[in-house]
Amino acid sequence: MTDNETRTLTAGPGDEGAVERVLGRRLCDRGDTVSVAESLTGGLVGSMLTDVPGSSDYFDRGVIAYSNDAKLADLGVSRESLDAHGAVSAAVAREMAQGIRDRSGTTWGVSTTGVAGPSGGTDEKPVGLVFVGVAHAAPWGSDDSFLRAKRHVLDGDRWTVKAESARRALSALLDAI
């Protein structure tokens, strides 16, 4: 990561180098739109996006799907993925991103799911385990649409894990664009 990229990830919302501002400019330049599906971040990703004046040009909606039932009903995550992999998994992060993208008709869908703590972690899924999903809807017939998810293990208290997860989600989208 370059010094400029580090600055972008740590800048505040009023700073022109803040990831949400850079992302907003990139989305506007491309004429793209985005929606978010959040679990552990509880709305922080959407909040960061809408901190930017003019975000209504590219931000469509956010869904906080904290429970498995909400993931099923609001995002179309499959029962099979939840049963086989659990809510905190790459498979579910991908389905969340795809679900919000397709339900909202946006170019991009971004999702977060994980264990913020301080409890709830296991040996297999420790506190701080986070998955960020990104789904892109390319023009029909281009074969350029995609789904991806990235695994992160973050340190810190509940607030730190949530805040860093939100920043990672915006950075993942920026990287994908």
Q: Tens digit of pLDDT for each residue in 93-127?
A: 999 999 999 999 999 999 999 999 999 999 999 99
- Distance between CA 160 and CA 22 in Å, rounded? 22
Domain 30-44+59-176 has CATH 3.90.950.20: yes
CA–CA gap between residue 98 and residue 122 (Å, rounded): 27
Mean pLDDT of 138-145: 95
Q: What is the pLDDT of residue 15?
A: 73
Is pLDDT of 66 > 60? yes
Q: What is the C-alpha separation between 111 and 44, in angstroms, rounded? A: 11
Put the strands of the sheet holding 59-64 in their side by side order. Answer: 59-64, 34-38, 108-114, 129-136, 146-153
Task: Return the higher-pLDDT residue of 14 and 161.
Answer: 161
- 59 token code pair: 């931000």
Residues in the chain: 177
Residue 11 has pLDDT above 50, yes or no: no
